[in-house]
């Protein structure tokens, strides 16, 4: 499949030019685009397997609006510092402000050096999405940029073996929902840890109540055990231990 694509690079470039100019795309280019998508998906799978075989990574999700003097900021910074002091792990965030900055800052604090070019036990990742109002935080070792939120989300999934969801808004809810759904349909391992701040507990419990418990006259829309796929905690020692146990299992594979 790859060889025909190499031979058709001019067609692919022409396809991109057509989309940028909002011109009509013919059937042959639609077929070519289908092939490109298949190759892209395959390369994503290969890249994910290769990365996760060599690196244990945890995502930290949360609001970009949280300020550095907020208790949520302090908590997440201490959390990631505690995680990387106990586990050889990379921390992956959206690379922006707020909770993301707190998570990345915790790694730099644990390393004991402000020099981001110096090799450290843990690496600080920022998975960005291109926005006019976006500014990366200053605590990143590795940065990746995406044009679309959808490919950015897939990049998180490809990199990580666990996640902590802190306080956040719509974007954080999207990230949490994606991982929850992937674990529900076995697209993530059964032991993939999804740890969630208690702020989300009444929201998700209400969702479970509406979609399961109250469906007495209809088919339940979720399973009774779906809530068990998530762990709620705001205890740093407990959260660190959850990821430590996951890291131990990863090392044995």
Q: How many CB atoms lie within 10 A of CB 218?
A: 7
What is this structure's pTM? 0.83
- Residue 63, sorted as left (phi over 0), alpha (psi -120 to 50) or beta, turns out to be beta
Tokens found for residue 230: 């998530």
CA proximity to 126, closest of 166, 155, 148:
155
Tracing tokens 């050889």 back to the chain, one arrives at 88
Q: Where are the domains of the chain?
A: 2-47, 55-252
- Mean pLDDT, 10 residues at a time, over the chain (253 residues)? 51 60 61 70 62 85 97 98 93 96 93 57 89 85 91 93 97 97 95 97 97 93 96 98 96 87
| pLDDT given for residue 52 in this prediction | 72
Range 55-252 classified under CATH 3.40.980.10: no
Judging by DSSP bridges, how do beta strands 194-196 and 57-61 pair with one another?
unpaired
């Amino acid at each position: 499949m790859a060889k025909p694509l190499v031979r058709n690079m001019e067609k692919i470039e022409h396809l991109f030019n057509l989309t940028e100019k909002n011109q009509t795309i013919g059937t042959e280019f639609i077929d070519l685009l289908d092939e490109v998508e298949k190759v892209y998906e395959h390369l994503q799978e290969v890249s994910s397997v290769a990365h996760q075989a060599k690196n244990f990574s945890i995502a930290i999700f949360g609001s970009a609006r949280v300020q550095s003097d907020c208790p949520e900021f302090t908590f997440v910074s201490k959390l990631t510092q505690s995680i990387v002091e106990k586990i050889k792990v990379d921390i992956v965030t959206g690379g922006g402000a707020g909770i993301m900055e707190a998570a990345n800052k915790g790694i730099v604090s644990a390393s004991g050096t402000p020099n981001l070019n110096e090799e450290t036990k843990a690496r600080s990742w920022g998975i960005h999405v291109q926005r006019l109002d976006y500014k990366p935080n200053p605590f990143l070792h590795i940065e990746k940029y995406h044009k679309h939120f959808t490919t950015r989300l897939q990049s998180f999934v490809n990199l990580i073996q666990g996640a902590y969801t802190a306080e956040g808004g719509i974007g954080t809810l999207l990230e949490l929902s994606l991982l929850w759904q992937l674990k529900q349909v076995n697209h993530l391992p059964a032991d993939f840890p999804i740890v969630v701040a208690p702020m989300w507990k009444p929201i998700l419990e209400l969702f479970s109540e509406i979609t399961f418990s109250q469906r007495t006259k209809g088919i339940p829309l979720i399973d009774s055990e779906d809530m068990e796929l998530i762990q709620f905690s705001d205890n740093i020692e407990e959260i660190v231990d959850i990821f430590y146990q996951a890291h131990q299992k990863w090392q044995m594979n």
